[in-house]
């Protein structure tokens, strides 16, 4: 399977994006970093396919230069 | 319990200087650490003589290697000291990982039975060296160990090597065909050759203490992230023979080694760990670690083995154990080359296979070091996220990295591997070290599969498989079942199925078939020996 790059979040996308922001409310920078790190680890495990995970990392990294 | 007594080994004026008949041996081994000594014994088991020179005259003083992995024990057993080590060592296989004072994870390094050796034993390096020195004495015609013989420089030409050696009685020159540089992490030979020791230095400092105490701690490896007795840092506890415990305490990068080593600073820390038991401080030292290797291990007739070729941080116990893999891999090849049974090109496969193994060890121990001492910021965030998740979320326990302990190196892509002509779906694969199993011999006495393999090429036939009627020269048949050894507990069937395996002298499986012809075996053998004299 390849990394999905087409939209895949259904009608909840704006709500989910907002919930991500809410999850960080009131956190210090350090806590926020840890929350993000925890989320990434959980999602990485859920995906469970190294090819997809590597592609995701590469794509996110490439986007820094966009 | 009787503690180890350090007894210096005798210095004997070498024959080159005493005027006695000059000795000569095809192989010169520089360094009588565990690796040099093991290499001398391994070569001797192949009938190849060596002279071992060491600048010192005692075994390794102080706290160094303690954890010896199952694979190393199998190699040590082939060399004749495995059972002695097992008997003296503390056997363990369970590791526990704590965050704060709470256990988050434990791992069993050998969850199955039917193996002669356990996942690990802990045994001080000085015992291992002592046992090896004594074992060397069983080969008086093949091993000449010379203490207080310091190598000053090494040279080589088309036909051999020379070593300039200094002794209390003056200097002399030794000549041989090959030289093994087993002179440790600060290898003088490596520096003389101008070889870059590339890799990474970790700034983090660790205090390593051996303490003697009466305690009923179980034989397990305990690792703490940020325990209350050592806030914000990690700690590791191991049990050793003679009521000695190894304690490793992370100190952070800014610690002052001299300050930290002072008893008034060490003792209060240890008191907190051992909870009020009386103890005696045996040894303390402050280390920082490197993960490095040289580019190539084989430089024509000078071959680097053990720490001279590669170093790792100790949290996976991959230093000495990695070096034992080197010895195992090299000695049958070198013996073949020296005796003319194999082409010198075979030595290149030592380079390929052990550079691959060293990279695996460096990778693993670097990952552990990074997990244990993350950079502040995002590295710390990922590390702490994994630790926090591990409390309630199963997957994260396996993400937590408190050491990935030495496991047998897989040689799946080795150029020496021959056919894997299908065969049963079983745990044993081509390129893997053979899996042990309990056997019974023809008289019904118990023995082990590993004790039937190694030292020469073996054609291992399991279950209902058939070997060709005549095997090529230099290959010995070992049959399990059908008139051969008994598969005492069914583990051979389960681990090997019905198949024919070609097993190298280092107990690695080189090829596998269901029903090979003699030419198949000959071809696989030729691959392994570069060109074996027919
Ligand atoms: C704190 C600590 C903990 C460790 N824990 C473990 C562990 O649990 N498990 C594990 O597997 N490994 C462990 N290691 C690593 C292990 O100690 C080394 O990998 C091992 O000692 C390497 O053996 P060696 O024979 O290659 O080198 P060394 O043991 O260093 O031996 C080299 C020998 O060469 C001699 N020599 C040097 N120069 C010359 C010269 N010019 N002429 C003649 N002789 C010379 C030296 O005197 C020495 O005897 C640990 C290391 C440390 C520091």
| B164, two tokens | 């300039």
| B154, two tokens | 């090494």
Residue B344 and residue B178 in contact, taking contact as beta carbons nearer than 8 Å: no
Q: Are B381 and A34 within 8 A, CB to CB?
A: yes
**Which chain B residues have a beta carbon less than 8 Å from that of A34?**
381, 384-385, 388
pLDDT at B269 over 90: no
Atom of ligand 1 at shortest distance to CA of B67?
Answer: 8
Domain enclosing residue A64, as ranges: 30-66
- Is the CB–ligand 1 distance for residue B418 below 6 Å? no
- Is the CB–ligand 1 distance for residue B323 below 6 Å? yes
**Which chain A residues have a beta carbon less than 8 Å from that of B395?**
45
pLDDT score for B534: 40
pLDDT at B378 over 60: yes
Atom of ligand 1 at shortest distance to CA of B324?
Answer: 11
> Cα separations (Å) of B529 from B336, B349, B467?
8, 10, 21
- Decide the pairing of beta strands B102-108 and B94-99: antiparallel
Residue A44 at interface with chain B, using a CB cutoff of 8 Å: no
Read off the pLDDT of residues B326-336 as tens digits, 9 standing for 90 and up: 999 999 999 99
pLDDT score for B533: 44
User: Quick check: is A35 in a domain?
Assistant: yes
**Which chain A residues have a beta carbon less than 8 Å from that of B382?**
37, 40-41
The share of chain B scoring above pLDDT 70, in percent, equals: 99
CA dist., res. B320 & res. B185, Å (int)? 11
Which residues are within 8 A (CB) of B90 and not within 5 positions of it... i.e. 6 or more apart? B121, B122, B123, B219, B239, B240, B241
From the list B33, B315, B335, B381, the residue with the least C-alpha distance to B178 is B335
- Decide the pairing of beta strands B50-53 and B143-146: parallel
CA of B418 to the centre of ligand 1 (A): 35
Tokens 């790792």, located at residue: B312
Read off the pLDDT of residues B271-283 as tens digits, 9 standing for 90 and up: 988 888 899 999 9
Q: HSE-up of B114 (CA within 13 Å, CB side)?
A: 17
CA of B220 to the centre of ligand 1 (A): 24
- Is the CB–ligand 1 distance for residue B317 below 6 Å? yes
Q: Mean pLDDT over residues B427-437, rounded? A: 96
Task: Give the least confident one: A18-27, B69-78, B422-431, B454-463.
Answer: B422-431
CA dist., res. B447 & res. B138, Å (int)? 23
pLDDT at B188 over 70: yes
Which of B377, B378, B386 has its CB closest to that of A41?
B386
Which of B382, B393, B395 has its CB closest to that of A37?
B382
Read off the pLDDT of residues B324-374 as tens digits, 9 standing for 90 and up: 999 999 999 999 999 998 999 999 999 999 999 999 999 999 999 999 989
Which residues are within 8 A (CB) of B225 and not within 5 positions of it... i.e. 6 or more apart? B97, B98, B99, B100, B234, B387, B400, B402
Residue B136 and residue B40 in contact, taking contact as beta carbons nearer than 8 Å: yes
CA dist., res. A24 & res. A33, Å (int)? 9
B24 or B183: which leads in pLDDT: B183
- Is the CB–ligand 1 distance for residue B174 below 6 Å? no
Could you tell me the pTM of the whole model?
Answer: 0.96
The share of chain B scoring above pLDDT 90, in percent, equals: 80
Secondary structure of residue B211 in the 3-state scheme: strand
- Is the CB–ligand 1 distance for residue B246 below 6 Å? no
Number of domain units in chain A? 1
DSSP annotation of A17 reads H
User: Quick check: is A13 in a domain?
Assistant: no
Q: Mean pLDDT over residues B458-471, rounded? A: 93
Category of B512 on φ-ψ map: left (φ > 0), alpha (ψ -120 to 50) or beta: beta
**Which chain B residues have a beta carbon less than 8 Å from that of A45?**
395-396, 399
Q: Which residue segments constitute the domains of chain B, with CATH numbers given?
A: 15-90+122-196+294-344 (3.50.50.60), 438-527 (3.40.30.120)
Secondary structure of residue B509 in the 3-state scheme: strand
Phi, psi of B518 (to 5 degrees): -65, -30
Ligand 1 pocket check: which of B307, B316, B321, B324 to mutate, most ligand atoms within 8 Å of Cβ? B307
Cα-only R_g, chain A? 14
CA of A66 to the centre of ligand 1 (A): 50
pLDDT score for B5: 83
- Is the CB–ligand 1 distance for residue B493 below 6 Å? no
Q: Which value, to the nearest 10 degrees, does the dihedral of the CA atoms of residues B247, B315, B129, B219 take?
A: 50
Ligand 1 pocket check: which of B223, B237, B320 to mutate, most ligand atoms within 8 Å of Cβ? B320
Confidence of residue B190 (pLDDT cuts 50, 70, 90): very high
Beta strands (DSSP E) in B253-385 are: 280-293, 298-299, 302-304, 310-311
Confidence of residue B81 (pLDDT cuts 50, 70, 90): very high
Residue B45 and residue B455 in contact, taking contact as beta carbons nearer than 8 Å: yes
From the list B400, B380, B377, the residue with the least C-alpha distance to B389 is B400
Mean pLDDT of chain A: 96
pLDDT score for B439: 98
Residue B205 and residue B257 in contact, taking contact as beta carbons nearer than 8 Å: yes
Confidence of residue B254 (pLDDT cuts 50, 70, 90): confident
CA dist., res. B419 & res. B366, Å (int)? 34
Helix (H) or strand (E) holding B223: strand B221-225
Read off the pLDDT of residues B207-236 as tens digits, 9 standing for 90 and up: 999 999 998 889 999 999 999 989 889 999
pLDDT at B132 over 90: yes
User: Quick check: is A61 in a domain?
Assistant: yes
Longest Cα–Cα distance in chain A: 38
Instruction: Indicate which residue's Cα is closest to atom 50 of ligand 1.
Output: B65
Residue B190 and residue B308 in contact, taking contact as beta carbons nearer than 8 Å: yes
Confidence of residue B530 (pLDDT cuts 50, 70, 90): low
**Which chain B residues have a beta carbon less than 8 Å from that of A37?**
378, 381-382, 384-386
CA of B462 to the centre of ligand 1 (A): 40
**Which chain A residues have a beta carbon less than 8 Å from that of B399?**
41, 45
Q: Are A36 and B381 within 8 A, CB to CB?
A: yes
Q: Are B385 and A37 within 8 A, CB to CB?
A: yes
pLDDT at B1 over 60: no
């Amino acid at each position: 399977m390849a990394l999905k790059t087409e939209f895949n979040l259904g009608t909840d996308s704006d709500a989910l994006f907002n919930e991500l922001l809410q999850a960080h409310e009131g956190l210090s920078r350090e806590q926020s970093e840890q929350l993000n790190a925890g989320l990434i680890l959980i999602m990485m495990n859920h995906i469970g396919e190294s090819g997809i995970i590597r592609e995701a990392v590469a794509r996110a990294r490439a986007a820094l230069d966009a | 319990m009787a503690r180890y007594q350090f007894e210096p080994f005798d210095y004997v004026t070498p024959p080159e200087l005493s005027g006695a008949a000059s000795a000569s041996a095809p192989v010169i081994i520089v360094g009588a650490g565990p690796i040099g000594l093991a290499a001398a014994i391994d070569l001797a088991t192949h009938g190849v003589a060596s002279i071992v020179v060491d600048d010192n005259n005692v075994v390794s003083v102080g706290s160094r290697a303690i954890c010896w992995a199952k694979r190393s024990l199998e190699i040590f057993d082939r060399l004749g000291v495995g059972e002695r080590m097992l008997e003296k060592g503390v056997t363990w296989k369970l590791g526990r990982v704590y965050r704060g004072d709470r256990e988050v994870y434990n791992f069993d390094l050998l969850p199955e039975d039917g193996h002669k050796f356990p996942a690990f034993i802990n045994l001080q390096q000085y015992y291992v060296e002592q046992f090896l020195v004594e074992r060397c004495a069983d080969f008086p015609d093949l091993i000449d160990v010379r203490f207080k013989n310091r190598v000053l420089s090494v040279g080589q030409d088309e036909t051999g090597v020379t070593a300039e050696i200094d002794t209390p009685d003056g200097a002399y020159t030794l000549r041989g065909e090959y030289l093994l540089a087993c002179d440790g992490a600060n290898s003088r030979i490596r520096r003389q050759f101008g070889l870059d020791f590339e890799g990474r230095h970790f700034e983090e400092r660790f205090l390593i203490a051996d303490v003697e105490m009466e305690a009923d701690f179980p034989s397990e490896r305990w690792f703490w992230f940020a325990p209350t007795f050592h806030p914000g840092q990690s700690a590791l506890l191991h049990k050793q023979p003679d009521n000695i415990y190894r304690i490793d305490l992370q100190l952070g990068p800014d610690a002052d080694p001299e300050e930290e080593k002072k008893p008034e600073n060490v003792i209060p820390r240890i008191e907190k760990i051992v909870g009020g038991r009386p103890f005696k401080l045996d040894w303390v030292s402050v280390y920082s670690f490197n993960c490095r290797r040289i580019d190539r291990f084989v430089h024509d007739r000078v071959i680097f083995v053990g720490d001279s070729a590669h170093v790792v941080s100790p949290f996976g116990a991959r230093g000495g154990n990695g070096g034992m893999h080197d010895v195992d891999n090299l000695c049958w090849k070198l013996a073949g080359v020296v005796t003319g049974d194999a082409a010198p090109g075979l030595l290149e496969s030592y380079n390929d296979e052990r550079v691959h193994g060293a990279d695996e060890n460096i990778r693993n121990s670097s990952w552990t070091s990074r997990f244990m001492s993350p950079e502040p910021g995002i590295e710390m965030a990922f590390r702490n996220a994994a630790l926090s998740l591990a409390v309630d979320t199963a997957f994260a326990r396996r993400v937590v990295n408190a050491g990935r302990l030495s496991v047998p190196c897989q040689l799946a892509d080795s150029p020496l591997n021959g056919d894997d002509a299908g065969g049963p779906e079983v745990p044993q694969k081509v390129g893997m070290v053979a899996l042990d199993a309990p056997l019974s011999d023809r008289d019904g006495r118990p023995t082990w599969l590993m004790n039937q393999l190694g030292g020469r090429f073996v054609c291992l036939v399991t279950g209902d498989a058939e070997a060709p009627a005549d095997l090529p020269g230099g290959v010995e048949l070992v049959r399990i079942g059908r008139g051969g050894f008994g598969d005492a507990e069914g583990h051979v069937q389960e681990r090997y199925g019905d198949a024919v395996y070609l097993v190298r002298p280092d107990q690695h499986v080189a090829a596998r078939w269901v029903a090979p012809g003699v030419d198949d075996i000959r071809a696989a053998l030729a691959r392994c020996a570069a060109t074996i004299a027919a």
